[in-house]
Amino acid sequence: MGQAKKRSDEIKALKAHGRRDDQALGKFKPAAVHESAHVIAAMHFDVPIGDGGVSLKEREDGRVSGFNDARPNQKHGNLSMGELADNRQAFLEHQTINFAGAFAEFFWGGRLIERGFDVWLSDFAHAMKIEGKRLGQGEVFYSGEQLKELRQIASRCFALLDDHATEIGPVPVGDKDIGPLIGEAVLGTRKFIQTYWKDILDFSDVLLASPGLAMTKARVDEWATVNFRRQNEFW
């Protein structure tokens, strides 16, 4: 009971202090928070940022999309989900880096209510290593079965994240059930966001102030050298 209340208090604190001045920051801020969380998670786990750096752009339909070139495969190798599940630390690092963006944007007060989970499905696809068909302009096509699986995972993760569930439930991968590990990653990512919330928001402000809404790898590395200080682990 005490642990559940503690989790609930953490959620309320994040939601209460997430937003700043939306009118001044504009519609790019939620995406900036999202990409910043991915980047800060990569910094924490010593995962390199590639030459693509991090950037935001407004698409033709008016929506804002973001990109970050975090490369967890360079640290752990291109492992399958089953192989990741055999290496708890690698699994949790992989999931935290991929979950961090959507979860941080959710706590900021992002797009969940108006557009549902689909806006963040690419993050869950990366987390679950589900490959779709790239269509260009940042769009990816997922089959009906893939969409069903991704929406189910996203729904379960957000239910646990927001304290509406106590576990993820079974997630079979081969002969393994990775549900408990995913649950551990969800709660660990929430703790990560709570711990690094100021860094995430500070980095997002720098990204928004950058020419072309983009930061090169060198600029990201420079910011990390000056500003980033690693905190404790989250599991």
pLDDT given at position 5: 60
- Is pLDDT at 209 greater than 90 in this prediction? yes
Radius of gyration of the chain (CA): 17
* Mean pLDDT of all residues in 78-100: 95
pLDDT given at position 40: 98
* Mean pLDDT of all residues in 89-94: 96
What is 113-178 written as a DSSP string? HHH-GGGGHHHHHHHHT---EEEETTEEE--HHHHHHHHHHHHHHHHHHTTS-S-----EETTEE-
The token pair that represents 14 in the structure block: 């994040």
The residue ranking higher by pLDDT, 134 or 194, is: 194
Predicted TM-score (pTM) of this structure: 0.87
For residue range 28-77, list pLDDT tens digits in order. 999 999 999 999 999 999 999 999 999 999 888 888 889 999 999 999 99
Q: For residue 19, name the pLDDT band (cuts at 50, 70, 90).
A: very low
pLDDT given at position 233: 75
Alpha carbons within 13 angstroms on the beta-carbon side of residue 195 total: 18
At 176, give phi and psi (nearest 5°): -110, 155
Cβ neighbours of 54 (radius 10 Å): 28
CA distances from 71 to 38, 52, 220 (A): 11, 10, 14
Arithmetic mean of pLDDT over the chain? 87
The residue ranking higher by pLDDT, 205 or 109, is: 205
β-bridge pairing 214-215 and 49-58: antiparallel
- Give the DSSP letter of residue 87: S
CATH 3.40.50 fits 2-227, yes or no: no
Q: For residue 216, name the pLDDT band (cuts at 50, 70, 90).
A: very high
Which among 37, 212, 202 has a CA at the least distance from the CA of 107? 37
Q: What residue ranges do the domains of the chain occupy?
A: 2-227
pLDDT given at position 22: 47
Alpha carbons within 13 angstroms on the beta-carbon side of residue 107 total: 32
What residue type is assigned to position 124 of the chain? Answer: F
The residue ranking higher by pLDDT, 136 or 98, is: 98
In three-state secondary structure terms, 79 is coil
